[in-house]
Amino acid sequence: MTRRLEEFKVLGDERGQLVALEENRQIPFNVKRIFYIYGTQPDTPRGNHAHYKTKQFLVAVNGSCKVTLDDGKSKKIFDLDKPNLGLFQDALVWGTMHDFSSDCVLLVMADAYYDDKDYITVYDEFLKEVENGA
């Protein structure tokens, strides 16, 4: 499955809430890199690329945003508006994050270390890769 929304179990009581995420359980891979996006500008999308090999898992730990995932055949928009929702993005899926709330903190976990050669930043090249891989 190239893209799916997961709802995590929330543990908590009068002291507050807690969500626990573990690699190869809630996160469907070994986590090699974690980064987060915040302080985004209104009407400024992020992402707009795909990866040849890297898989990612996205969680809006604060605020909200939308994520459009495109597998080359269909596009779907996901609302990340709760800190107990996560979105899996497979390799060779074009991702765009947008409509960030002013307080959004988007956490991204990846199964690979950063490698600029793994990025596809031209949409037509992405479509050729999808076509060749299909």
Place 84 in a pLDDT band, splitting at 50, 70 and 90.
Answer: very high
Query: What is residue 117's three-state secondary structure?
Result: helix
49 carries an active-site annotation:
yes
- d(Cα 108, Cα 125) in Å, to the nearest integer? 24
More confident residue, 39 or 25: 39
Q: What share of the chain in percent tops pLDDT 70?
A: 97
Question: pTM surpassing 0.85?
Answer: yes
Under the banding of pLDDT at 50, 70 and 90, the label for residue 2 is low
Region of residue 43 (left: phi > 0; alpha: psi -120 to 50; beta: else): left
What number is the average pLDDT over the span 7-29? 91
Q: Which of 4, 33, 49, 98 is catalytic?
A: 49
Q: Can you give the CATH number for the domain in which 116 is found?
A: 2.60.120.10
Could you write out the DSSP letters of every residue in 9-44?
A: PPEEETTEEE----BTTTBSS---EEEEEESPPTT-
Q: Which of 98, 105, 55 is nearest to 83 (CA)?
A: 105
Tokens of 103: 């307080």
Domain count, the chain: 1
Q: Can you give the residue range of the structural domain that contains 81?
A: 3-133
| 6 confidence band (pLDDT: 50, 70, 90) | confident
pLDDT of residue 41: 86
